[in-house]
A and B are shown apart, each in its own frame.
Chain A
Amino acid sequence: MAIRSRVLHETPSQTAGPFVHIGCTPNRIGLAYAYRGQDLGERLFDNGVPGQRIVVEGCVFDGIGTPVKDGMVEIWQADHKGLFNSPQDRRGQSSLGFSGWGRQATDPETGEFSFRTIKPGETPFVDGRMQAPFISFWIVARGVNLGLHTRMYFPDEAERNRQDPVLSKLEHACRIQTLIASCVSDNHYRFDIRLQGEGETVFFDV
């Protein structure tokens, strides 16, 4: 059994800058017909996919409360049974027609994002315990030197959130709130992300 060790080092990150949309969401900023009219990550699921339809909206704010209007948000999540759309999830096949991955430019006028997706099921933590349902977020923007990882948990899962292996281990319990969406209406959640300062979102080193 060979020991596989690190012989190279990850390439240093650089900010995505203000024009990340040209490369990642060209149709969204009016470069119509780029890549035959479709940006990657536009849709998370096809019509027939089982599961609870939800909307997750929010805004990215900087340290003085100004919306970040030139950012990009990506999400990744399991399907309604907790299975990932990946050959590396060997527990089973996720729902056909469920991509699990979404990508959006934050709105150039308001900084808002809004995803239509399926409420994810429980997924296992490294020790086999189940985690409360969550959606992984990755945020880049001008002024962000290294993409930021965070997670959105659900406000209507209080019991499972309380037992979640990640949430329950956070050093400052008062910061858990930054990871839990609020409920706008049925199946409609709001998850604001604060890059800095009061109510600063918990970001993860994964």
Chain B
Amino acid sequence: MIKFSKLATKEQEPVVEGFFHREFHRHPPAYTPRYKSSVVRSPKLALVSIPNSLSELTGPVFGHGILGDDDNDLTVNYADAGMRPALGERIIVHGRVLDERDKGVPGVLVEIWQANAGGRYRHFKDGYLAPLDESFGGFGRTVTDAEGGYEFRTVRPGPYPWPNGINDWRPSHIHFSLFGAGLAQRLITQMYFEGDPLIPHCPIVNSIPEPSLVDSLVARLDLANTVPMDARAYRFDIVLRGRRSSQFENRS
């Protein structure tokens, strides 16, 4: 139990409670040799467990004020006015950011990045043969609404080959960075697409310890939210660490 009673005034009764401990067995271990980059970048010594104090419980607040109109629309947010939108299969990626108590998390900064429809990133280190699309940057961001909801418009990224094994291909994927209410909720992950035959072959996917957990990273085709004659929808919900119960919430 966390107490700040010495510091808080009566009206400002402390409400600061730690996050549920992280379930490491549900995450990739640091050392996953089939994903070769992890071999020299994985700590060998055990993590040191410390209880959450304010530095882990707090974090910057990202208001909707930081957002521009097109920040979450990758089909147009890189193209100059008057240019055609990005090439590729038009899709909507949407869902909710929840915590482990099944409550929507508002105000989460959600940043995504991805390859273009041909599988090429707009990055000076990506030399894949597939051409760049002059109308596609591959970055987008949004802040979740009061219910934890988010939405992006983009094009479906292409699979791409990468230097790991001699013939490794990444399944189509979108990288997600999430910044919730506190530093301890910080998470980066990747979203895959339902039915992609490359998923079970990918060493990065397979860094996840149980195949059943991979399922939680696979977005589902969501015909109900498809926009006819425009874009197919995919649904992807994300779960961030939850907080242990707090007096404040019980009272309110």
- A interface list, Cβ under 8 A from B: 1-24, 26, 29-31, 34-36, 40, 62-64, 66, 68, 70, 74, 76-78, 84-91, 99-101, 108, 123-128, 131, 134, 136, 138, 140-149, 166, 170-171, 195-197, 200-206
Q: A91-B7, A123-B54, A124-B54 are in contact. Are A197 and B183 (CB under 8 A)?
A: no
Instruction: With CB as the reference atom, state the residue of chain B lying closest to A197.
Output: B44
- B: number of interface residues (CB 8 Å): 103
Interface string of B75-91 (1 = CB under 8 A from A): 00010000000000000
Q: How far does the Cβ of B38 sit from chain A's closest Cβ, in whole Å?
A: 5
- Does B30 touch A at the CB level, under 8 Å? yes
Interface string of B217-228 (1 = CB under 8 A from A): 100000000000
Q: 15 interchain pairs (CB within 8 A)?
A: A6-B100, A8-B102, A12-B208, A12-B216, A13-B188, A15-B204, A20-B175, A35-B139, A40-B66, A87-B61, A126-B18, A145-B30, A146-B27, A171-B48, A203-B43
Q: How far does the Cβ of B170 sit from chain A's closest Cβ, in whole Å?
A: 9
Q: How far does the Cβ of A109 sit from chain B's closest Cβ, in whole Å?
A: 11
Inter-chain contact count A-B, CB under 8 Å?
293
Chain B, range 217-252, C-beta contacts under 8 Å to A: 217, 238-245, 249-250
**Neighbouring B residues of A170 by C-beta, 8 Å:** 48
Chain A, interface SS category: loop
Q: Do A23 and B177 touch across chains, with their CB atoms under 8 A apart?
A: yes
Interface string of B94-107 (1 = CB under 8 A from A): 00001111100000
Q: Do B125 and A90 touch across chains, with their CB atoms under 8 A apart?
A: no
List 10 tightest A-B contacts by C-beta distance, closest first. Answer: A23-B113, A143-B37, A143-B41, A86-B58, A4-B245, A145-B28, A63-B40, A101-B60, A205-B47, A22-B113
Instruction: With CB as the reference atom, state the residue of chain B lying closest to A38.
Output: B66
Q: How far does the Cβ of B51 sit from chain A's closest Cβ, in whole Å?
A: 5
Q: Do B48 and A202 touch across chains, with their CB atoms under 8 A apart?
A: yes
- B interface list, Cβ under 8 A from A: 2-8, 12, 14-16, 18, 20-24, 26-30, 32, 35-45, 47-62, 66, 68, 71, 78, 98-102, 109, 111-113, 121-126, 137-141, 175, 177, 181-184, 186-190, 204-205, 207-208, 213-214, 216-217, 238-245, 249-250
9 additional A-B residue pairs with CB within 8 Å, beyond A8-B239, A91-B7, A143-B37: A14-B204, A23-B175, A62-B41, A76-B59, A85-B58, A142-B41, A166-B50, A202-B45, A205-B48
Chain B, interface SS category: loop
Q: A16-B175, A88-B58, A196-B41 are in contact. Are A125 and B53 (CB under 8 A)?
A: yes
Centre residue among A134, A201, A205 by max chain B CB count within 10 A: A205
Q: Do B238 and A144 touch across chains, with their CB atoms under 8 A apart?
A: no
Q: Do A22 and B122 touch across chains, with their CB atoms under 8 A apart?
A: yes
Centre residue among B20, B38, B60 by max chain A CB count within 10 A: B60
Q: Do A12 and B28 touch across chains, with their CB atoms under 8 A apart?
A: yes
Q: A2-B250, A12-B28, A143-B41 are in contact. Are A91 and B4 (CB under 8 A)?
A: yes
Q: Do B177 and A206 touch across chains, with their CB atoms under 8 A apart?
A: no
Q: Do A7 and B101 touch across chains, with their CB atoms under 8 A apart?
A: yes
Q: Do B101 and A88 touch across chains, with their CB atoms under 8 A apart?
A: no
**Neighbouring A residues of B48 by C-beta, 8 Å:** 170-171, 202-205
Q: How far does the Cβ of B13 sit from chain A's closest Cβ, in whole Å?
A: 8
